[in-house]
Amino acid sequence: MEENKAQKEKKKAAEWYLWLFLSPLLTVFTAYIIFIFAWRLTDAFLNPRGHGYIGYGNPAARLALLISILGSALWHLILLIPALDKESIFVSWHGKQALLLAGVRTAVPLVFVGFFGMDGLILSILLLIVIWLFGTLWGQGEARQGKCSLAGWFGKAEEIMHPEPAAGSAVQDSLNQISAPLLEIIRYSPEKSDRDKALADLRASLPLGSRLVRPFFYRRSGLSVIPASDSRIEALLKLIRSSPDRQLREKALLSLTDWGLVDIL
């Protein structure tokens, strides 16, 4: 139940970044419309004797462009919806992070146009394309992984963590007491008969369908032995034990299964 809730929250947070992918379709068009009207007003106000030209030397055009950038950025206020989400602190933090990305995308053209006028617009567009693509993919990727850098920067990363659902602690403790000494025998006993007996006892003690990676591995052909210290196996085991990505863990386990290195107990 808890796992389903966590997955739904991750999906919901990631979906809000789709707005950052699609928003340029609205912001660019809106900025163009606002600029046309704003330039006429600012030009009439700053150049009462006649219309100026749209270029670096025309302060009316620069002011109109700044107004159009700020006006079109109001579309991003839609991200206040996830940022103020009261049901999920995870979605809320990602809403704030998406707003931060939107703020950066607004600040870049404001700075370039403010310093370089109309000529700075082209430079800012090139940088905006990079921020639009990689920034949005970064935020969406973090949402899917259950992370949020913004929360981490404010020291709130632990508040949004989704712990892996654990089995009942009493049952788990009981299994650990039984399996720990048996695993020691399987791993370190020099006598094959002792290892086989311990493995049989371990199978009998664990729930049906449990999976165990063998300490000494045989290929399915039975013709060769893969030692437990094999670098490929160690890399896969490290993924299974430590990777936060569930899909990577499952792929690593499937690789061991394909090699005949996993027993169904």
Do 99 and 80 form a contact (C-beta atoms < 8 A)?
yes
Residue-wise over 215-231: b if at least 16 C-beta within 10 A, else e? Answer: eebeeeeeeeebeeeee
- Using one digit for the tens of pLDDT, what is the confidence trace for 157-166? 877 765 444 4
Do 175 and 206 form a contact (C-beta atoms < 8 A)?
yes
Structure tokens at 141: 């990727």
Rg (CA), the chain: 29
Q: Closest Cα to residue 158, out of 89, 248, 80, 81? A: 89
Q: Closest Cα to residue 181, out of 204, 206, 205, 198? A: 198
Do 104 and 69 form a contact (C-beta atoms < 8 A)?
no
- Using one digit for the tens of pLDDT, what is the confidence trace for 244-254? 777 777 777 77
Measured distance CA(214)–CA(222) in Å, rounded? 14
Question: pLDDT tens digits, the chain, 265 residues: what are they?
Answer: 455 788 889 999 999 999 999 999 999 999 999 998 888 887 777 665 555 554 445 677 788 889 999 999 999 999 999 999 998 999 999 999 999 999 999 999 999 888 887 777 888 888 999 999 999 999 999 999 889 999 989 988 877 765 444 444 444 555 566 667 777 777 667 777 887 787 777 777 665 555 554 444 443 334 344 444 456 667 777 777 777 777 777 777 777 676 555 654 4
Cβ atoms within 10 Å of 143's Cβ, excluding its own: 25
Do 97 and 19 form a contact (C-beta atoms < 8 A)?
no
Measured distance CA(148)–CA(111) in Å, rounded? 27
Do 71 and 31 form a contact (C-beta atoms < 8 A)?
yes
* pTM tops 0.75, yes or no: no
Measured distance CA(155)–CA(81) in Å, rounded? 23
- Secondary structure percentages of the chain, helix, strand, coil, to 5: 70, 5, 25
